[in-house]
Amino acid sequence: MINPPPRPSASSSIGAASVGGSNFSGANLLLFSKLILQKVLTPLTSSDEDTSSYGIVTLLKDILIGTFFGVLTISFLIFFDHINLIHLQLAHNFRETAFSLVNDPETLATLEESAGLKFLSVPEYEMMMKEIEDSKSKAERVKVTIQERLKEAEEKQKELGPLTEEYDKLVKESSLGLDNFCADCSWQGRTSCSARKGYLMETYGIGDIEATVGAMTAPQCVKCD
Q: What is the 3-state secondary structure (H, E, C) of 93-150?
A: HHHHHHHHHHCCHHHHHHHHHHHCCCCCCHHHHHHHHHHHHHHHHHHHHHHHHHHHHH
> Within 10 Å of residue 108's Cβ, how many Cβ atoms?
14
Q: What is the pLDDT of residue 35?
A: 65
Q: What is the pLDDT of residue 18?
A: 39
Angle at 109 between CA 134 and CA 90, to 5 degrees: 105
8 A C-beta contact, residue 196 and residue 223: no
Is beta strand 186-187 parallel, antiparallel or unpaired with respect to 191-192? antiparallel
Q: What is the pLDDT of residue 21?
A: 41
| Spatial separation of the C-alpha atoms in residues 43 and 3, rounded to whole Å | 64
Q: What is the pLDDT of residue 197?
A: 92
How remote is the C-alpha of 72 from its chain's centroid?
29
3-state DSSP call for residue 14? helix
> What's the pTM?
0.30
Q: What is the pLDDT of residue 36?
A: 63
For residue 27, the one-letter residue type is A
8 A C-beta contact, residue 160 and residue 168: no
The H or E element containing residue 192 is strand 191-192
Per-residue pLDDT of the chain (225 residues; tens, 9 = 90+): 444 444 444 344 434 333 444 444 455 556 766 666 666 556 555 555 555 566 677 778 878 888 888 888 877 877 777 777 677 677 677 777 777 776 777 777 787 788 777 777 788 888 989 999 999 989 999 999 999 999 999 988 888 877 777 677 666 666 677 888 899 999 888 899 999 999 999 999 988 888 888 888 888 898 876
8 A C-beta contact, residue 192 and residue 183: yes
For residue 10, the one-letter residue type is A
- Report the sign of the C-alpha dihedral through residues 107, 100, 70, 43, in that order: positive
| DSSP classification of residue 177 | -
Burial of 23-53, coded b for 16+ CB within 10 Å and e otherwise, reads eeeeeeeeeeeeeeeeeeeebeeeeeeeeee
Query: How big is the chain by its Cα radius of gyration, in Å?
Result: 51
